[in-house]
Amino acid sequence: GSGTTVTWTEIEVELADDGDPAILDAVEKRLRKAGVRPAHSASKLARALAETAPTPEEKRPEADEPRTAGDHVLAYVRKQIRAIVDLDPAVRRDLPDSVHKMRVATRRLRSTFKTHRRILDREATDPLGAELKWLAAELGLDRDQEVL
């Protein structure tokens, strides 16, 4: 985002499965008396992501123009990483097509690691490839639900 920090104070009170609703009512009355007001938003996570998600206008500056074949590969790797990071808030908010786009970026990054394994540092890319495989599988579960 813009480098700003967003903070808020929130108190969440939940009743245990076998709890007495009268206790919850008493806690609510005490909190209201202390000046605490109910939140108007449905989800803490959705609110946090909506407040901190980068807007399309907040594009990051591009790195220097690639000069060598290796530079081109690294520029492509950075582009896919940037796509994954930028899509994270949208995926968490379950925005349309975000899971699909993140899966595509994940697949492209894994393919790049495999295709260029002779010139990339395999000690770095092999573990990342394994993590990306896991991420792709997790996203695949969500994508299957999205398509169905």
pLDDT at 3 exceeding the cut of 90: no
Give me the pLDDT at residue 50, please: 62
pLDDT at 83 exceeding the cut of 90: yes
Other CB atoms within 10 A of residue 110 CB: 20
Q: In the chain, what are the domain boundaries?
A: 1-52, 60-147
Distance CA 112, CA 119 (A): 11
Give me the pLDDT at residue 27, please: 84
Give me the pLDDT at residue 102, please: 94
| pLDDT tens for each residue of 14-62 | 767 777 878 878 888 888 888 887 766 555 555 566 666 666 555 554 5
Mean per-residue pLDDT over the chain, rounded: 79
pTM above 0.75, yes or no: no
Distance CA 29, CA 39 (A): 15
Q: Which two tokens stand for residue 47?
A: 């609110």
pLDDT at 84 exceeding the cut of 90: yes
Give me the pLDDT at residue 21, please: 78
Q: How confident is the model at residue 13 (pLDDT cuts 50, 70, 90)?
A: confident
Distance CA 87, CA 54 (A): 10
| Percentage, residues of the chain above pLDDT 90 | 32
Mean pLDDT across the stretch 123-134? 92
Contact in structure between 91 and 131 (CB atoms under 8 Å)? no
Q: Which two tokens stand for residue 138?
A: 């997790």
